[in-house]
Amino acid sequence: MSRFDTLFSQLQQAQQGAFVPFVTLCDPNLAQSFEIIQTLVENGADALELGFPFSDPLLDGPVIQAANQRALAAGCSTEASFHLLAQIRSTYPTLPISLLLCANLVYAQGIEGFYQRCADVGVDAVLIADLPLLAHPEFTVMAEKYAIQQVFICPPNASEDTIKRVAEQTKGYTYLVSRAGVTGIENQHAASHLEALVARLKAYQAPPILQGFGISQPQQVSDVLKMGVNGAISGSAIVKIIEQHLHDPHTCLAELAAFTQKMKKATAR
């Protein structure tokens, strides 16, 4: 079983959902980024979804765009990110780790080279935000070769055919987007039709569903779990805490610890 498979099995037995934070690697710098990730994990994060610093992100709103710029300004890029991933894996051998990034970062390494490096540092899953289902084979072949689970997004306006193909192709987990647009903590409430979308994904036996975009409060975690998803991903709310305390790392870590504890507590079923 993969680390994600094991996690979801354990959470089901414990009658809990998953809380998965997203941060950009190396934000605001390499050393502080590792401390931030340690804080998230040690205060209840069940898995991590991590981004590579990139100058032209596609799905990210202004908060995470700023995180990318801070990491790049600190001199961190793909090489530093892989170094940090190896450090995270060494510290947390059983923690599921997923990457969320753009295809250009994969092409820059060469598709096979990228997946091989992911395997070398212990990445479990990869979600390429701008990879359409029609173009997936050249990526998924290499993902399978190196035992990386390729994750796909199910958009809130997905057709029946898209729902079916996402359910069939995604591995590890299914990323359900709460709403159209870019990441951010505004427009927080999920549309009522998402419950029907969850039911259709399950009918096609999709992997466990994690819902993201706009998840910033414990009540939202409770609400999405009631719709039948297996967990929630929160990114912009976490990165906003980092942004607010750039010059006070101690307070930053304390705020992140408190936030993570509250969000994880909300996953009790």
Separation between Cα atoms, residue 197 and residue 189, nearest integer Å? 15
Q: What sign has the CA pseudo-torsion 171, 146, 72, 74?
A: positive
Separation between Cα atoms, residue 33 and residue 25, nearest integer Å? 6
Proportion of the chain in helix, strand, coil states, percent, rounded to 5: 50, 15, 35
Distance between start and end Cα atoms, the chain = 24
* Letter string b/e over residues 209-225, b meaning 16 or more CB atoms within 10 A of that residue's CB: bbbbbbbbbbebbbbbb
CB atoms within 10 A of CB 37: 25
Among residues 27, 46, 60, 243, the one annotated as catalytic is 60
What stretches of the chain adopt beta strand conformation (E)? 18-24, 48-51, 97-101, 125-128, 149-151, 153-154, 174-177, 209-212, 231-234
User: Tokens representing 237?
Assistant: 């709310």
Is 49 a residue of the active site? Answer: yes
Among residues 27, 35, 42, 49, the one annotated as catalytic is 49
Provide the residue count of the chain: 269
Is 56 a residue of the active site? Answer: no
The residues carrying an active-site annotation are: 49, 60
